[in-house]
Structure 1
Amino acid sequence: MWTKPVVMPMVLEWAYMGFILGVLRYLQLKPRVRKPWLNIISLVALSLACFGMTLVGNFQLSNDEELHNIGTSMTFGLGTLFCWVQSFMTLKVNLRNEGRQAGIPRFLLSGAVTFCMLLYFALMAQRLHMHAARAQWALVMFFLGFLGTFAIEFRHYHFEIVCSDDQEPPMSLSESFSEVSEYQSDQL
């Protein structure tokens, strides 16, 4: 018996992973870029592309073709924009003198992603769905390869999530009980 493959969880994991990588990359470049709007555009583009991936994963082509295609267009179009902006920023920022080492592969992968995206839409316009699906998966693999190139620069960084309150430090349990008892004695 033939069953449909379950693609949704994998696509949603890729979307989440891409979004986290985009945020980390934004934070990595934030103190070093001369044109912060490029960094912001890159983060917004990848965030919307990841949202498009969730649409692709949640609305299969056979169930809701319109939403699936909107998600595909968002993912491919904005993902491609993200690739080109990050490739450009890699050469400009040149973290630890590794701009060329990371930038050249990123430009090549951006070109491959762009070619696959254009090929996908051209094949879809000709209703060659099987070939378009092949171009789509090639695009996904090139895009994942592009995201993998961030390991070159991330290896030098330590990201830490810190949540703090700028108010006074919390009181100990005994201090809080003494305050409560003082308040209650005032009420009597």
Structure 2
Amino acid sequence: MWWFQQGLSFLPSALVIWTSAAVMFSYITAITLHHVDPALPYISDTGTVAPEKCLFGAMLNITAVLGVATIYVRYKQVHALNPEENCIIKLNKAGLILGILSCLGLSLVANFQKTVLFPVHVSGGVLTFGMGSLYMFVQTILSYRMQPKIHGKQVFWIRLLLVIWCGVSALIMLTCSSLLYSGKFGTDIVQKLHWNPEDKGYVVHMITTAAEWSMSVSFFGFFLTYIRDFQKISLRVEASLHGLTLYDTAPCPINNERTRLLSRDFS
């Protein structure tokens, strides 16, 4: 059995691979059509102009679905491992909510371009990176609370380093973005897709975009740490029938049907 066939380990793998493909395909298309500059554009800028914005939006919507699935599986796994510890239960629920909000923000970023609806696009970015960073922080705390009996110390330290990386990148991006969009460097910053080294605010722009790419990479690395954990979990769907037919209103005792949520038997 291959490693990605063990448990649900394919979920975080698919999430990272698919998201990377979405970003790279839209980036290559935007660069080929000269819609953005090759040197570190904003990630969302590579999905601002047609046709790449169509590809960007469609693929990131699937990323949001994969993200929700991954976050939900992680929630169920932690719940199953620590069903009686009140602190862990609360943190686990908080992580689920934060993760879902981050995925919602990603969908907003993908479908509302900054040149069309800037406030919605920025709100989506705040949800994606802000709630996503908090989600990583909560999961790192859970990893700390569950070591060494359930979680290995090495996993905790890796996640902690990734959270610190993410936090530093977020702080730089927030500071530079606030400075860039303060109006000090002009009023056309929102619509600007092409930058020249001579432009006012070019250095601040490059620092902001570098921090955004860095933060995204830290997200990818964090979800990749789930692979080993997900090899040890599988989910099942239970169908509870309330009648002999679809038109019965009175409940009757009928055996429940239990199947794997995602089966590996395709033959």
How high is the TM-score relative to the length of structure 2? Answer: 0.59
In structure 2, the residue corresponding to 1:163 is in which secondary structure?
A: strand
1:134 CA drift (Å)? 1.9
Q: Does 1:63 align with 2:95?
A: no
Number of aligned positions between the proteins: 169
Instruction: Output the CA distance in 1 between the equivalents of 2:170 and 2:61.
Output: 20
- 1:19 CA displacement: 1.1
1:19 aligns with 2:68: yes
Alpha-carbon separation, structure 1, partners of 2:80 and 2:176? 42
1:32-181 pair list within 5 angstroms: 32-33=81-82, 34=85, 35=87, 36-94=89-147, 97-127=150-180, 128-160=204-236, 162-167=237-242, 170=244
The AA in structure 2 aligned to 1:24 is V
Are the equivalent residues in 2 in contact too, given 1:52–1:71 (CA < 8 A)?
yes
The CA distance in 1 between the partners of 2:148 and 2:96, in whole Å, is: 18
CA contact (8 A) 1:102 1:152 kept: no
Q: Give 1:141's aligned amino acid.
A: V
Q: Which has the higher contact order (CA 8 A, sep 6+)?
A: 2
What are the superposed Cα offsets for residues 96-120 of structure 1, whole Å, 9 maximum, x if unpaired? 6443121111111011111111111
SS in 1 for 2:81: coil
Q: Residues 96, 24 of structure 1: CA spacing in aligned structure 2 closer, same or farther, 3 A cutoff?
A: farther
Percent same amino acid at aligned positions?
A: 25
Deviations 1:9-41 (A, max 9, x none): 333232222211110000001133312111100
**Structure 2, unaligned runs of 5 or more:** 1-32, 36-48, 181-203, 246-267
Question: Aligned letter for 1:153?
Answer: D
1:51-81 CA-to-partner distances (Å, cap 9, x unmatched) read 0111111111111111111111111111111
Aligned to 1:183: none
1:2 partner letter: H
- Residue ranges of structure 1 left out of the alignment (5+ in a row): 172-188
Q: Secondary structure at the match of 1:84?
A: helix
Q: Equivalents in 1 of 2:149, 2:61: separation in Å?
A: 33
Q: 1:32 to 1:83 in 2, by over 3 A?
A: same
Contact 1:32 1:93 in 2 (8 A): no
Shift of 1:167: 3.6
Give the Cα separation in 1 of the matches to 2:102 and 2:92.
Answer: 15
Structure (1 or 2) with the larger CA radius of gyration? 1
How far apart are the structure 2 equivalents of 1:30 and 1:80?
A: 21
